[in-house]
C-alpha cells in the first residue's frame, strides 16, 4: 500500500500494548517483538501478495522466503508459520492451489520452522503469504534504526525485482529470461543473518516494498547522522538497468516510494531513471546491514560460499539527517 496513505489512515489509532512489548509498529521496524520472559521473546510478522511470477510452486516459495525475511532481519530464528491464501473459486485450479501451498511449505522446512495451519478466503485475485513467528533472546534483538557514525552499509542481494517482475507481467519477458532474479527471490536471508551473530552489528533490515531508499530512510529517520550512498557500488540485475534506462515497466510502487521519501534525499547529479531503480519495490530482497568499519572485511569473508554479490554500498556520516547519493 502507498506508504503516505497508510501513514494517514493509522495516524490517530491507539493500539493495545503492554510493558512486555519490546518492538511494535510505532518503531517502523521489520517485525513486532513481545517478551515472554527474561530469556525469551517472540517475534511476529506477516506478508502476503499477488503472484509475482506465474509458476505456482515457485511463487509459493518466494512468498514464504519473503515472509520469513523480517524474522531474519531482526536476528531471530523462525519457529512456526500459518498460511494465508486468497483464491478465486470460479476458476478453481486445485493443482495450482496445492503447488503454491507446497512451495511455501518447502521454504518453511528449509528455514527449520513448522507450519501449524492457515486460512483461505475466496477472492477475485489470488494472493498468498504467511504469518511467521520467531524466537530470540530479548537482549539479542537487531533493530533497524541504530546506525552509528563511521559504520559501513552492506547489501546482500541485487536490486531490480520490481521492475523485472512488472516487465514479466506485461509480457515482454519470460520466466526463463529472469532465472537469476527468481533464484535471488528464492534465497532465504538465513545465512547472512546467522553469520552476523559473531559481529557487533549496529542495525539490520531487509529490503522489500519500500525499495532500497525507503528502507534506508526507515533506518536513518530521526538519527543524528546521515548516509553517503555510493550508487555505483550497488548491485542491480542487468536487465533492470536496461528497462529503467528506457523508463519502461516502472512499478506503481516506485512512484509512491519516491513521493514519500523525496525530501530526505540529496540526489546530486543522479539521473531520474537511476533514482527509479533505487526506489524499486523489492520482493524477497536482501539484508541491509550496518557494521563497524573494522569488521566489514571479516564479515564479507565469512560469506565466501554465499551465491549472490555482497556489496559495501554506503557509510554513516556525521552530517544532516539525510541520504546523500554519491556518483
Note the residues at the interface with Co ion (CB under 5 A): 30, 47, 70, 206
Residue nearest to Co ion (CB): 30
Q: With helix as H, strand as E and coil as C, how does the chain read?
A: CCHHHHHHHHCCCCCCCCCCEEECHHHCCCCEEEEEECCEEEEEEEEEECCCCCCHHHHHHHHHHHHHHHHHHCCCEEEEEEEEEEECHHHCCHHHHHHHHHHHHHHHHHCCCEEEEEEEEECCCCEEEEEEEEEECHHHCCCCCCCCCCEEEEECCCECHHHHHHHHHCCCCCHHHHHHHHHHHHCCCHHHHHHHHHCCCCEEEECCCCHHHHHHHHHHCCCCCEEEEEHHHCCECHHHHHHHHCCCCCCHHHHHHHHHHHHHEECCCCCHHHHHHHCCCCCCCCEEEEEEHHHHHHHHHHCCCCCCCCEEEEEEECCCCCEEEEC
Residue nearer to Co ion on the CB measure, 129 or 244: 129
Residue nearer to Co ion on the CB measure, 4 or 272: 4
CB of 73 to Co ion, least distance (A): 5
CB of 62 to Co ion, least distance (A): 14
Residue nearer to Co ion on the CB measure, 71 or 316: 71
CB of 153 to Co ion, least distance (A): 16
Residue nearer to Co ion on the CB measure, 30 or 151: 30
CB of 114 to Co ion, least distance (A): 20
CB of 302 to Co ion, least distance (A): 23
Residue nearer to Co ion on the CB measure, 45 or 166: 45
Amino acid at each position: 500500500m502507498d506508504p503516505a496513505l497508510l501513514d494517514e489512515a493509522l495516524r490517530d489509532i491507539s493500539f493495545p500494548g503492554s510493558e512486555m512489548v519490546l518492538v511494535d509498529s510505532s518503531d517502523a521496524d521489520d517485525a513486532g517483538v513481545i517478551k515472554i520472559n527474561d530469556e525469551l521473546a517472540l517475534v511476529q510478522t506477516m506478508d502476503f501478495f499477488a503472484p509475482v511470477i506465474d509458476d505456482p510452486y515457485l511463487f509459493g516459495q518466494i512468498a514464504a522466503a519473503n515472509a520469513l525475511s523480517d524474522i531474519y532481519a531482526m536476528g531471530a530464528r523462525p519457529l512456526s508459520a500459518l498460511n494465508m491464501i486468497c483464491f478465486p473459486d470460479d476458476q478453481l485450479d486445485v493443482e495450482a492451489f496445492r503447488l503454491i501451498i507446497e512451495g511455501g511449505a518447502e521454504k518453511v522446512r528449509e528455514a527449520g520452522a513448522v507450519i501449524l495451519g492457515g486460512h483461505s478466503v475466496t477472492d477475485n485475485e489470488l494472493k498468498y503469504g504467511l504469518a511467521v513467528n520467531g524466537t530470540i533472546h530479548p537482549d539479542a534483538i537487531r533493530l533497524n534504526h541504530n546506525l552509528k557514525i563511521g559504520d559501513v552499509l552492506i547489501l546482500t542481494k541485487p536490486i531490480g525485482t520490481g521492475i523485472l517482475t512488472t516487465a514479466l507481467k506485461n509480457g515482454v519477458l519470460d520466466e526463463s529470461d529472469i532465472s537469476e532474479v527468481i533464484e535471488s527471490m528464492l534465497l532465504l536471508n538465513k545465512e547472512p543473518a546467522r553469520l552476523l551473530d559473531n559481529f557487533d552489528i549496529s542495525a539490520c533490515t531487509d529490503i522489500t516494498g519500500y525499495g532500497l531508499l525507503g528502507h534506508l530512510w526507515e533506518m536513518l529517520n530521526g538519527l543524528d547522522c546521515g548516509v553517503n550512498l555510493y550508487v555505483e557500488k550497488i548491485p542491480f540485475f542487468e536487465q533492470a538497468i536496461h528497462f529503467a534506462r528506457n523508463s519502461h515497466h516502472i512499478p506503481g510502487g516506485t512512484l509512491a516510494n519516491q513521493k514519500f521519501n523525496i525530501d530526505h534525499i540529496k540526489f546530486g547529479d543522479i539521473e531520474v531513471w537511476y533514482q527509479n531503480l533505487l526506489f524499486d519495490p523489492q520482493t524477497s530482497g536482501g539484508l541491509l546491514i550496518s557494521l563497524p568499519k573494522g569488521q566489514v572485511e571479516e564479515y564479507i569473508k565469512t560469506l565466501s560460499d554465499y551465491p549472490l554479490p555482497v556489496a559495501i554500498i554506503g557509510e554513516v556520516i556525521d552530517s544532516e539527517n539525510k541520504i546523500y547519493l554519491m556518483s
